[in-house]
Every structure is written in C-alpha cells, then in structure tokens.
Amino acid sequence: MIQSHLTRGWPPAIAATQGRTERPAELPGDAPLAVRGLTVSYGEKPAVFSLDATFPAASMSAIIGPNGAGKSTLLKAAIGVIPRLSGEVYVFAQPLEKARARIAYVPQRASVDWDFPTTVMDVVQMGLYRKVGLLGRLSGAMNARAQDCLDRVGMADFAHRQIGQLSGGQQQRVFLARALAQDAHLFLLDEPFAGVDAATERAIIDVLKILKAEGKAVVAVHHDLSTVRDYFDHVFLINVRRIAEGPVATTFTTENLQATYGGRLAATHLDELSMASGAR
Amino acid sequence: MGAEFVQFSLTPILIGIFSAIACALPGNFLILRRQALIGDAISHVVLPGIVVAFLVTGVVAAVPMLLGAAGAAILAVILIEAVKRLGNIEPGAAMGVVFTTMFAAGVLILEQTDTSNVHLDVEHALMGNLESLIWFRAEGWHSLLDPVALASLPDELIRIALVCALVAALTRIFWRWLKIATFDEGFAQALGIPARALGFGLVVMAAVAAVAAFDAVGSIIVIAMFICPPAAARLMTNQLEHQIGWSVAFATLSAILGYVFAGYGPLWLGAQNAVSAAGMIAAVSGVILGLACLFGPHRNRIGAARDAA
Amino acid sequence: MNAFLQALFLQAGYNAALVAIGAGLLGFAAGSSGTFMFLRKRALFSDAVAHATLPGVGIAFILMVSLGGDGRSLPGLLAGSALSAWIGLLLIEWISRRTRLAEDAAIGAVLGVFFGIGIVLLTVVQSMSAGRQAGLEGFLLGSTAGMLFQDAVVIAIGGSLAVLVTWLMRRPMTLVAFDSDYAAAMGYNVRRIDLLMMSLVMAVTVIGLKLVGLILIVAMLIIPAVTARFWTERSSRVIWIAGAVGAAAGYLGAALSASAPALPTGPIIVLVAAGIFVVSLLFAPVRGVLAAVIRHRRFQARVHRRQGLLALAAQHPIREAYTLRLLAREGLARPDGVPTETGRAQAAKIARDERRWDVAREIHQDAGLTGRYDGLTPIEEVFTADEIAEFDRRLGPPVALGGA
C-alpha cells in the first residue's frame, strides 16, 4: 500500500527458501474477504499468526485445521468480534466498517443462552435490525421476508416457538435463517455442522449451495474432513499460520493435511479421507 | 381515602412505584446478562458518593448528593472493570473488592466528619425514609388541580418521576440493540452495534435509577427492586416483551402493598407504630418472587413441551 | 503514632488487646475460608450470607426480650443471625436449582429481600421499649465501642475455632474448590464439603458481625483471597497467604482503630486489606499490572518484529506504521522500509526457520513438538541441533503452493 519502491536492488536469494507460507504480494483486489498479516493473541500465545487469506466469490470455502489452530479466531477477528493485535481486513476491497452491511455472520450455536425469553421469529428478525434501525417499523414486507427465510431452512412451522424448545439442529437452522434475512453477499459460519442431525446438515448445505449459485461467497469453519470434497470448492488450511489455500482439488491433499495436522492426523482420518475421495 | 390519604400516602406510594419501575426496567436486562449483582455493587457505593459530595460542597442539597452518588456508581463500574481486566479476576470477586472498599471509605469519612447536626446519616442512606416524603399542602384530591399545592410536591417525587420516564424512554429507544446484544453479543458486534458501549450504558442507566431511588427506598433495598420483580417476571413468560410488562406490574404491586402493609399492617396486628416501608416493599417483592418460583408457569429451566425435536 | 504502637503491642488495655487478637484470628479465618469460595467462583455468596443475618438479629432480640431476658446477649443474637443466614443459603440453593433463574439472581434476591425484612424488624425493635438502646444498628457497620469483655472473648474463641476447622479440613476443601469432579471421583462427598465451606463462611460472618458489621464482613472474605491469588499459582499457598493477609488486616486495623477516636474498626480493617490488595494488583511479580504491561509491550514488539522480518524476507511492503518504526529503531530497516544488512540477515534466518518448520511438520510425527509452533517460539527451543541439521539437509527446492 505505502511502498512499492523498497524492494529495489535487494537480492531475491531468500525467495529460494519460500515454501507454502509465501505471501501473495498484491492487495486483495475485490475478493469478498481478505486478511493480511492478521495476528490475534489470547494472552501471550498467538492464536493465529501473521495470516494472509483470500476467499473467492461465488464459492464455498472451508477453514480447516486441528483444534486450537485458530479457525474460529480467524473468523471472529475478521468480523471484529475479537480485537486483532495486528493486520488488516478487507471485505469487497473495503475496510470492515464500511462493508458490514454486506456480511452475514452465524456464530457458534453454543455461544448464546438458548434460555433467553424469545421466539424463533424474533431471532430471525434480528437479522433485519441493521436495515430497520433502532425505531423503524418492521414492515409487512420485512415480516414476510423473515417468514420466507424460515421457510428456506425448513422451519416455517416453528415461527412462534420458544427458542429454548428447539433441538440443536433446529437452533442451527434458525441461526442460518437469521443470516439469510441479512441479505448479505458474504456469509461467515462458525462450525455450522457441529452437533446437528444429518437432515439439518443436508438442509443447511442445500441452502448454502443456492447462495453460491446466486454468486454469494460462503466461508465456514469446518472440521469434518470426510465431507470437505462434497461440500466445498475452496479450502484454507490453518495451524496458527496459513499452511495452504486454494481449490479443493489441488490443495486438499494428503501432504497439505499432514502438514496441517502434523502427527495429530490419525491414520483413521486419512483412511476416511481416501474412502471419501475414492467414492467419487 | 380522603384528604389524609392524599396528604400522607399518595406521594410516598407514587415515589415507591416510580422507584420500583425505574429499577426493574434495567433489572430485566441485568438478570438476562448474568449481571444481577452489579445492582448490589452500585447500591453499596451510593453512600460514599453522597458523603464525598457533602464533604466537597459542605451543604446537604439534593443535586450535589445525587451527582456524587452517580459519580461514585460510575467510578465503581469503571474500577470493577479495571480490576477484572487488569487482575484477571472473576466479576463477582472484582465487585466484592471494589464496592466493599468504597463503602468502607464512605463510612470512615462519615465518622471523621461532624455530620451529626445535618440530616445525613448512615441509616437514612441504607434504609431510606419513604414515610417522610409527604405532600404538606395537599388538602384532598382537588389539590391535584391546584397549582399552589402542586408546587409543594416533594422534590423527590418530581425527580424520580423524571428518572423513571428517562429510563423508560431509553429502554424503548435502544430496545432492539439491548435485546440483540443481550441474546447474542457476537452477532450484535458483527452487525456493527457497539455492544460493549451499550453494556456500559445499561449499567450507567441502572446506576442513575439506583441513585434516584435511594433517597426514597434506601440504597440496599434498591437491590431487591433490581432483581425481584424481573426475576419473578421471567418465571411468568417466555417472551421478553411480556417479561418487561410483568416486571413493571410486580414492581408496582410491591410498592403499593409494601407501603400499605408497613403503614397499616402493624395497626391490624394491634401494634402502635408503623414499620419501615422500604423494607416492607422489599419483603413483598420477595414474597412475589417466592410465589413465582413455586407457581410461575415458566419456572422450570427446560420448556414444558420439547416435542418435534 | 504512640497510641498506635501501644495498641499494636497490645498495651492499650485488656479489651483492646483481646479485640486486636480476635480481629487477627478472625481475619485469618475469613481470608482462608473466603479463599475456598473465591476459588469456587462464589465470592458474592458471602455477601448474601452476610446480609441474610440481619432478620435473625432482629428476631432473636424480639424473642429474647419477650421471654423476659436481655435482648442484647451476644451469643443469642449470633445464634439468631446464624439461623437466618442458613435459611438464606438454602433459599439461594433452592432457587438456582429448582427454577430457571441463575445463581447471581438468586443471590441478589435473597440479599435484598432478607435485608429488607431485617430493616422492617429493626424498626419494630426500635418501637419496643427495650429496643431504644439496643444498639442493633451496630450490627450494620460494626462497633467495638462499648464492647463487653465477654463479647471480645466470644470473638477470640470463635476466630480460633474457625482457624482450627480450616486447618483440619484444608485438604478436602482445596480439592473441591479446585476440581469438584475429581474430588467426587476420589470418593469425597462434594455436597457435604460445599456445605462445610459455606458453614465456615457463615461462622466467620456471624463472629465478625459485631466487629466489622454485616456489610463489610464480606470484604474480609473476598479481598484477602483475591490478593493472595496475585502472589502464587499454588492452591495450598493461596489459602495461607490469604489467611496471612486477612490476619494482618484484622490485627493492624484493630490496632489503628483503638489508637484514635472516630476510627471505626470495620472500615479501617477493610481499608488496610484494600491497601494490601492495591499494592499486590500493581506490583506483584508475575500477575501484577506493571509486570503484565511490560510483558505485553515486549510481546507486541516480538510479534511486530517477526512479522516485519517475514515481510522483508518475502520482499513485501511493511504496511503497519508501528512495525516500521520498530524495525527502524532496532536498526533492521531504514525508516523508508529498506532493510539494513542486519535486517537482511535476520530476515533470511527467520524465513529459513519457517521452511524448517514446514519440514518438521512433514517428517515429525510428534504433535507435541510441532504443535508448539506459534510463529514466535524459536525453532532451536523445540528441536535439537541434530534435528535442525536434518531439516536443513531435507530442505530441497521450494514446493509450489498448492494450486494458489
């Protein structure tokens, strides 16, 4: 951004030692989400360190890595829910604050108190709060829109249910409906499939695929390696630092996974993986 | 229910009602945010606030005392946050350290200063004196239309009515933000809502309500008003909008019944003197909460029907 | 000053000496038993217990007078306060277990309501003919003025007993406070030990009522425990340090209070404890604020230095002003971002280390070692020189970034 002149006359010998962790030199362009040099630390231990990441439009991206590798941290820091120690975030080439209206966020289901006294419809309407402001009236059209979003996740009949009475999968669908109501272009999901039933997982993935077809960008923290090939187009492998990023076909390889998980990737996982890829 | 009622009971009852409502409104959110005890902390630091205000100004006047109390409450909130963050200490312990220290400082200063000749003493601040806030010039219901009599309404009534209106207005204006930031803070921040500032604002609002209420119901009993009506309301409904309504109703009921029982209860039992109205209001709110715990339709943690899971 | 020294060395009269010893013992018992509540994250439980004693004081007084006795008998009042505190405890437990209300709401509700009832009873007492000089208000803020010899004895004996019980039960209570599941697995009755902790807190509260008052006794249960936490990471030590802080605050506070008029015992004890707390908060060696600020600044500099060097190695512009300033200050780069000789050398080293880590992750199956990567830890701290030499041997031509 500031200096393009400073690399003049300085030998590229070091480039020979560059491997996977090489940074893309150029600025993010108009990618839906890009972070540059992102470091977040809880106390004295960086949770993510000097990350560069670029997530493409009209595709579904997975953030993958072992537990404690900084997957959720990356997402939360990208959207400003937790403070960053250093680094920059660009959303459609704009700073985060200017682009908030274009982002929809689905937090981890367990991050809220489901005993809160409210109904399913109320939660979905929260996705419209940015649009209606503090005191604006929720018009009939907006209510219809909220109802439509519930319909899209298969929860139309639950609009007036108390949220404490929902199953885990239903809670996740309600959160997705709320994100849909935001009418965003970039969808960030934190572990959307954690602890949900198979039918819900199917329903969520169908909705996300429609979003992709509409040209929206979907970025999800994901930890089920066996479904990556089925669900996603793009992967970002992380273990505190970026290990690799790119299309699933070329980046989601055994070598890169080995590098991401180190010894932690048990042989069984690799087996599952080869079965999943062999099945196609 | 004639002239005597208007003169001696109307204003205390109204002050009690406004105090209870002004505290119950922010109390609803404090309870849902697991911050119920911030009301405890705030109410304890009111005393050092008014003592310091008296030291600085040298007069016993309502406005500096209220400002001092509000300042102390805000200082306490900031100190609690600082101790919590800097020392990495859990919120309950941080509150305990801060408010007891400030309270101790307040008592010490009070003992060091010669305030015995002024109407400022610990018990007043702790217990309130609702009974004394009478409407001197009132001669009956018609006084409500008499500008001369109205001008002599106790200042406390005007003040708490204004604060109650302010709290209600702020709750209404920031309703959506409060609701979303209380339910899902991360999502609120992602929407660009200043959730942290909002949380601080809520605590300040609670502090203002506590300060305005303390000279009527006493600073400790304010805690009961923060917690009991909203907690009972939570057990009556599963809808936040209705919960607010119930809490206002319970607050009003506590104030009226508490005042009546304190004033007339002992007489019914054959005793001579009335008992503390503020204490009785807290007791009644406790009985309401107890009944809600036993019979409230939504008292149990898991919804009654968990069908179609 | 002279009067203070006299009081400090127990020369200010028999009563004052007993009070000082009692306050010291009480402080020790409060500090150590409060630690268990603090570690169990129930610090404000004690606040509710303390406020819940008030109705008991009132009822005991009314009962004793109506039975024709002296309403001011300290043992009687303390028994009453213990009973009502116990009821308050049970109510908190019942509300938070049986209803959907959280524990903090239950604590606040019991605290406010019991205090309200207590105030009502105090107004009843004041209207009784025997109640006018009862001095029950002394229980709100504590007062040693006019304390009888036998009251001081009660405090001293009670304080010693509480210390004794704490010492006898320290092991099971520590275990439960730190890890109740593990304690249950070891065969301890967690519920009973919890109850014991609360009884101890209640006992301390009741003994301290006359001395510090029910509003401030909670400070003696919380402040020493929080203070002790700054000085050690070890549970057994927290308890004794908290006890020592409490004892020091109690003894010094009582002595100070005895040395001058208009220095009420309760607030002075609390303020001494608070003073120790503030000093600990600021200056404790590891957990103190000063230490943390210095550590954080160093850490931030490390992160930025490393990121800056990585950018230099990759020949990327340094975008953040702080990084640039830092590198310039340390002679690693010129203010315009062009690296110096040292800067280049260090950048090359860091870039090579990153590459070594990549190799390490590929060939090392021990996640315990490769998992220590956090971008900052030098590779030499994790692997031996031989292993690093092995990585270097394997460092072949660069591997293309998969598909990017």
Rounded CA-CA distance A60/A217 in Å is 6
Does residue A148 register a pLDDT over 90?
yes
Rounded CA-CA distance C217/C252 in Å is 16
Residues of chain A with C-beta less than 8 angstroms from the C-beta of C319: 1-2, 36-37, 88
pLDDT at site B170? 96
**CB interface of B with C, residues 237-266, below 8 Å:** 262, 266
- Which chains reach chain C with 3 or more Cβ–Cβ distances below 8 angstroms? A, B
Residues of chain A with C-beta less than 8 angstroms from the C-beta of B175: 134
Do B186 and A123 count as a contact with CB atoms less than 8 A apart? no
How many Cβ pairs closer than 8 A exist between chain B and C?
Answer: 222
Does residue C377 register a pLDDT over 80?
no
Does residue B118 register a pLDDT over 50?
no
A243: CB partners within 8 A, 6+ apart: A20, A21, A65, A237, A256, A259, A260
Would you place residue C336 in the very low, low, confident or very high pLDDT band (cuts 50, 70, 90)?
Answer: confident
Residues of chain C with C-beta less than 8 angstroms from the C-beta of B223: 108, 111-112, 115
Who has greater pLDDT, C379 or B195?
B195
**Among candidate residues C135, C18, C155, the one with its CA nearest the CA of residue C70:** C135
Q: How far is C299 from chain A (nearest CA, A)?
A: 7
Counting every residue, how long is chain C? 404
Q: How far is B141 from chain C (nearest CA, A)?
A: 30
- A247: part of which helix (H) or strand (E)? strand A241-247
Do A126 and B189 count as a contact with CB atoms less than 8 A apart? no
**CB interface of A with C, residues 4-43, below 8 Å:** 4-8, 10, 12-25, 36-37, 39, 41
Rounded CA-CA distance C40/C34 in Å is 10
- pTM of the entire predicted model: 0.85
pLDDT at site A118? 93
Q: How far is C233 from chain B (nearest CA, A)?
A: 13
- Which chains reach chain A with 3 or more Cβ–Cβ distances below 8 angstroms? B, C
**Best of A51, A61, A84, A86 to disrupt the C interface by mutation (most C CBs within 10 Å)?**
A86
Question: Is B238 near chain A, with CB under 8 Å?
Answer: yes
Q: How far apart are the first and last CA of chain B?
A: 56
Do A81 and B183 count as a contact with CB atoms less than 8 A apart? no
pLDDT at site A13? 33
DSSP string over A14-25 = GGGG--TTPPP-
Rounded CA-CA distance B15/B11 in Å is 6
pLDDT at site C25? 87
Q: Are A136 and B176 in contact (CB under 8 A)?
A: no
Residue pLDDT, tens place only, C204-219: 888 888 788 888 889 9
pLDDT at site B121? 59
Q: Are strands A45-55 and A33-42 parallel, antiparallel or unpaired?
A: antiparallel
Would you place residue C370 in the very low, low, confident or very high pLDDT band (cuts 50, 70, 90)?
Answer: low
**Best of B34, B187, B235, B242 to disrupt the A interface by mutation (most A CBs within 10 Å)?**
B187
Q: How far is C376 from chain A (nearest CA, A)?
A: 8
Would you place residue A264 in the very low, low, confident or very high pLDDT band (cuts 50, 70, 90)?
Answer: low
Structure tokens of B107? 């008592």
Rounded CA-CA distance B123/C215 in Å is 12
How many Cβ pairs closer than 8 A exist between chain A and C?
Answer: 156
pLDDT at site C239? 86
Do C123 and B296 count as a contact with CB atoms less than 8 A apart? no
Contacts 24+ apart (CB under 8 A), C38-42: C38/B93, C38/C222, C38/C225, C38/C226, C38/C229, C39/C177, C39/C178, C39/C225, C39/C235, C39/C238, C40/C176, C40/C177, C40/C180, C40/C194, C40/C197, C41/B90, C41/B92, C42/B92, C42/C103
Nearest to A164 among B179, B187, B303 (CB): B303
Cα radius of gyration (chain A): 20
Question: Is A249 near chain C, with CB under 8 Å?
Answer: yes
pLDDT at site C366? 62
pLDDT at site B1? 55
pLDDT at site B226? 94
Question: Is B305 near chain A, with CB under 8 Å?
Answer: yes
Q: How far is A131 from chain B (nearest CA, A)?
A: 10
Counting every residue, how long is chain B? 309
Do B39 and C109 count as a contact with CB atoms less than 8 A apart? no
Nearest to A17 among C319, C344, C352 (CB): C352
Do B104 and C267 count as a contact with CB atoms less than 8 A apart? yes
Mean pLDDT on A47-72: 90
Would you place residue A77 in the very low, low, confident or very high pLDDT band (cuts 50, 70, 90)?
Answer: very high
**Among candidate residues B122, B218, B90, the one with its CA nearest the CA of residue C266:** B122
pLDDT at site B175? 94
pLDDT at site B79? 93
Rounded CA-CA distance C374/C381 in Å is 12
pLDDT at site B132? 78
Torsion, Cα of A215, A221, A225, A228 (10° steps): 0
Rounded CA-CA distance C256/C9 in Å is 11
Query: In which region does residue C234 sit, left (phi positive, over 0), alpha (psi from -120 to 50) or beta (all else)?
Result: beta
In sequence order, the β-bridge partners of residue A236 are A63, A245
Nearest to A18 among C314, C323, C374 (CB): C314
Residue A229: burial class (beta carbons within 10 Å; 0-12, 13-18, 19+): middle
Q: Are A132 and A213 in contact (CB under 8 A)?
A: no
Counting every residue, how long is chain A? 280
3-state helix, strand, coil in chain A (%, to 5): 40, 20, 35
Residue pLDDT, tens place only, C37-60: 888 888 888 889 999 999 999 999
Nearest to B97 among C42, C108, C223 (CB): C223
Question: For the ranges B181-185, C100-104, C186-190, C223-227, which has the lowest average pLDDT?
Answer: C186-190
Does residue B179 register a pLDDT over 90?
yes
Cα radius of gyration (chain B): 20
Tell how far CA B178 is from the center of its chain. 19
Average pLDDT along chain C: 83
- The nearest alpha carbon in chain C to B79 belongs to C278
A141: CB partners within 8 A, 6+ apart: none
Who has greater pLDDT, A183 or A23?
A183
pLDDT at site C32? 86
Rounded CA-CA distance C323/A84 in Å is 15
Tell how far CA C209 is from the center of its chain. 22
Q: Are A186 and A208 in contact (CB under 8 A)?
A: no
Q: How far is B147 from chain C (nearest CA, A)?
A: 36
Would you place residue B117 in the very low, low, confident or very high pLDDT band (cuts 50, 70, 90)?
Answer: very low
Would you place residue C391 in the very low, low, confident or very high pLDDT band (cuts 50, 70, 90)?
Answer: confident
Do A86 and C304 count as a contact with CB atoms less than 8 A apart? yes
Question: For the ranges C23-32, C131-140, C186-195, which has the lowest average pLDDT?
Answer: C131-140
Mean pLDDT on C232-242: 84
**Among candidate residues A19, A245, A11, the one with its CA nearest the CA of residue C398:** A19
Percentage of chain C lying above the pLDDT 90 cut: 19
Percentage of chain B lying above the pLDDT 70 cut: 92
- The nearest alpha carbon in chain A to B195 belongs to A81
pLDDT at site A33? 93
pLDDT at site B164? 95
Does residue C113 register a pLDDT over 90?
yes
Who has greater pLDDT, C314 or B101?
B101
Q: How far is CA C134 from CA B18, B135, C148, in A?
A: 34, 33, 14
Residues of chain A with C-beta less than 8 angstroms from the C-beta of B239: 117-119, 162
Does residue C156 register a pLDDT over 70?
yes
Do B309 and A111 count as a contact with CB atoms less than 8 A apart? no
Nearest to B101 among C102, C140, C274 (CB): C274
Rounded CA-CA distance C92/C335 in Å is 63
Do B299 and C264 count as a contact with CB atoms less than 8 A apart? no
pLDDT at site C87? 94
Nearest to A246 among C311, C323, C404 (CB): C404
Structure tokens of A90? 């660009």
pLDDT at site B306? 38
Question: Is A96 near chain B, with CB under 8 Å?
Answer: no
Rounded CA-CA distance B54/B110 in Å is 10
Would you place residue A11 in the very low, low, confident or very high pLDDT band (cuts 50, 70, 90)?
Answer: very low
**Among candidate residues C164, C210, C205, the one with its CA nearest the CA of residue C50:** C205
**CB interface of B with A, residues 135-194, below 8 Å:** 173-177, 179-180, 182-184, 186-187, 189-193
Residues of chain B with C-beta less than 8 angstroms from the C-beta of C108: 36-37, 39-40, 223, 226-227
What SS3 class is residue C32? helix
pLDDT at site A241? 86
